[in-house]
Amino acid sequence: MKPDLKTGRILIVDDEEIALKNLRRLLEKEGHIVSTCLNPVKAAAWLAEQPFDLLLTDLKMPYMDGLELTGAAKRNSPGIEVIIITGYATVDSAIEATKIGAFHYLTKPVKPDEVRHLVGKALEHKALREEAGGGSNSANHTPEIIGHSLKIRQVKEIIRQIAPTDCSVLITGESGSGKELAARAIHAQSARTAGPFVAFNCGALTEELIANELFGHEKEAFTGASSLKKGLLETADRGTLFLDEIGEMPLSMQVKLLRVMQERELTRVGGTKSIPLDVRIISATARDLKAAVAEQAFRSDLYFRLNVVNLALPGLSERPEDIPLLAYHFLHKLASRMGKKINAISEQAMTLLNLYAFPGNVRELENIIERAVALSNSDTIQPHDLPPDLAELELFSFKEDGGEYLSLEEMEKKYITFILQRTGGARAAAAELLGIDRVSLWRKMKKYNL
């Protein structure tokens, strides 16, 4: 029996407003719930946060093309169906669309009857697959690591591979790079997902308090211990314990943690009874633990126990192409939380965000967007809503490192290279930022051998 799915949640993405209006009118008449978006980067953020049954996307768009958006949609929601609509049909792009999971590939101008038919077929296909158990699992609340850069895709793939293994994982990366989020993703994709996820910061407490928090205590173990208290290790039994800032743990506590990992049992403070334990340890640090081991500030035996698999998280400056996606993700979340109708970031403000080095990484970006949402009096984040140090950014020095001044041609080449890097090589978007047409950009790229 076919599932009854007459309507669906549909997202339409196109950089031409008239195309969005026509498709929206057509599909809303069929009873579908339709959202539209002119900005594919913003659309990718929506796809990471909201459930959609179907994505209709143009192929050629600034900042992110339809194939990239399809890939992002499939990574965030494997069960979504995608129809790509384009006026630039080629055999190669059609093949690529099929490879990455697009349901169909339409050439402009599209016919209303054809769109209705394909949308119905795509939704029917999705419903049949889910009825057979092949759809996305809506009950799976895996924390979403936002980004489509190569480095973040590699992180997601490593997490997918190591999550089911139950081995210890050491997550390394700069402060604010998302180490706890990665740990939660590992837990959510493991066989322990039904068990607790417990997080503890090893750098926040004294040695005595760390022992009490991790191991718990027996009644009357010390003055004020009026009742038995289970520690976080016991609380995390059959689940995952995340130890943040593990490099700050005192050496004496490192010995106790090593014993727990070796013997898979613990003894509460003031107790004598050994308590069996089934817990996965995931730890994280911004320190160089190898150097700490060499300096005898961290035990080598514990280091090797913790570091069965190392997951190195890139800083935000190493994946600048993810900045717009993350910025819109935080904008949507924070505007909703504050009850403000802010739905866009101006091109000038986004350019400043793209230029910033983000020493505080993803956490700093979230703080910047939170400030901007709080200060903004319009529906679009503007440069004056950003912190003053961002608004005063210089693109780069007029001198090379050696102190010699750059020639005008060298400056132009350096600037064009910079803009192309920021747009991920998208020439249309680069030309728009540079204020020239695509033919002029092509000539300059040929001139400078870019």
- Is 197 exposed, middle or buried, given 0-12, 13-18 or 19+ CB atoms closer than 10 A? buried
Q: What is the mean pLDDT of residues 369-386?
A: 91
83-133 pLDDT per residue, tens = 988 776 555 555 566 566 677 878 778 888 889 888 988 887 777 666 554
Lowest mean pLDDT among 3-12, 135-144, 254-263, 441-450: 135-144
Lowest mean pLDDT among 63-67, 131-135, 368-372: 131-135
Comparing 8 with 362, the larger pLDDT belongs to: 362
pLDDT score of 25 more than 60: yes
Q: What is the mean pLDDT of residues 344-365?
A: 87
pLDDT at res. 393: 55
223-280 pLDDT per residue, tens = 777 788 888 999 999 999 999 999 999 999 999 999 999 999 998 888 888 899 999 9
CA 377 to chain centre: 28
pLDDT at res. 99: 61
384-425 pLDDT per residue, tens = 899 877 765 544 444 454 556 667 788 788 888 878 876 767
Task: Read off the tokens for 122.
Answer: 């795509």
Q: What is the mean pLDDT of residues 339-351?
A: 86
Comparing 103 with 72, the larger pLDDT belongs to: 72
Model's pTM, two decimal places? 0.63
Domains and CATH numbers, the chain: 9-131 (3.40.50.2300), 150-312 (3.40.50.300), 317-391 (1.10.8.60), 408-447 (1.10.10)
Listed in sequence order, the residues at least 6 apart from 13 whose beta carbon sits closer than 8 Å to its beta carbon are 36, 37, 38, 40, 43, 55, 56, 57, 58, 61, 66, 69
Comparing 264 with 138, the larger pLDDT belongs to: 264
Structural contact between residues 84 and 108, judged by C-beta atoms closer than 8 angstroms: no
Q: Residue 443: how many CB atoms within 10 A of its CB?
A: 12
Averaged pLDDT score across all residues of the chain: 84
